[in-house]
Amino acid sequence: MYLLLLVGVVLGAYIILTQTLFKRSKCKGNAAMAGKTVIITGGNTGIGKATALHLARKGARVILACRNRDKAEAAIRDIQQDTGSTDVLYMQLDLASLKSVRCFAKTFLKTESRLDLLINNAGLVADGRTEDGFGIGFGVNHLGHFLLTCLLLDRLKEAEEARVVSLSSMAYRWGHIDFNALEANGHLGTGRYSWQFFHAYCNSKLCNMLFTHELAKRLKGTNVTCYSVHPGVVRTELSRNVSLWQKVFIEPIAQLLFLDPEAGAQTTLHCCLQEGIEHLSGRYFSCCAVQEVSARGRDDAAARKLWEVSEKLCGLSKGGITTKDF
């Protein structure tokens, strides 16, 4: 009797979780991609690779903007074998280095004539500092993408219709931005323990939300729209820096409940390919649908402040982007 009750509870919990926190969705967008150019940061693994594969299959020119050449070239071989596309290439980008971001943008603008989609996909949960001394979570998840987007905006505006899709997370709900600490210390949380840098991760995901919120305002009246995405709880390399005992605990749960990268890419693909969502620029999507956002994720004053602080930390000119920013 008790065993049956326990099985019923476990099964019920599993069904509830798979229909809520671990719910699957399917992108139905089918916008034409032939002849269009896409940049995907972190496109060599996980959600980024699944996204790249789908867009390459639709005929897009796909640029994997990654730190690790070997992983990127292996991903390109996989994508080419799967899709038959010969228009997938690697460009070196280390989001933990503002110099690398500038070099990437400079190279891209010299060698590529168009940009239709910028997918700010890369992210991590880790402790440490970037090359420029920023907290690694803040520096990679937000600041590197902020600078990259700013440097490529003019090229995006040249397209007939362009989009910026940034991967955030439902974890933004637990985030907080201490601007005094950020300007003084260059990070949004640090520490030896995983829970401390997971909190920093939540803070960085809130930055992604506020960045998209403010970017949409600044792009109003242009042909560029932007969206933030919660991909779901996905089995990726995001948590590769957590401790061994946590991996031992998390892995069985991940295998049972977490989405695979293809399922995790669906909402990103929705924001890339779904026609008629331009009026939703700046909004947050999950399960291939627009979602309501808590007050902290749409705080106008905080979004504007984050933009200004980010410009300062990146060394962008106050009056706009100039050639010296490279």
Q: Which of 154, 130, 128, 156 is nearest to 143 (CA)?
A: 130
- With a CB cutoff of 8 Å and minimum separation 6, the contacts of 129 are 135, 136, 139, 186, 187
Amino acid at position 42, single letter: G
Sheet strands side by side (includes 37-41): 88-92, 61-66, 37-41, 117-120, 162-167, 224-230, 284-286, 289-291
DSSP string, 93-133: --TT-HHHHHHHHHHHHHH-S---EEEE-------SB-TTS
Eight-class DSSP state of 60: -
Q: Which two structure tokens, joined as six digits, stand for 142?
A: 């937000």
Distance CA 305, CA 326 (A): 23
Distance CA 283, CA 216 (A): 9
Q: Which two structure tokens, joined as six digits, stand for 114?
A: 């168009």
Continuous H helices in the chain: 2-19, 46-57, 69-83, 98-111, 136-138, 145-157, 179-185, 194-218, 244-257, 261-264, 266-273, 300-314
Q: Catalytic annotation on 14?
A: no
Q: Which of 2, 90, 193, 201 is an active site residue?
A: 201
Distance CA 245, CA 16 (A): 27
- With a CB cutoff of 8 Å and minimum separation 6, the contacts of 112 are 37, 63, 155
8 Å CB contact between 62 and 43: yes
> Catalytic residue positions?
201
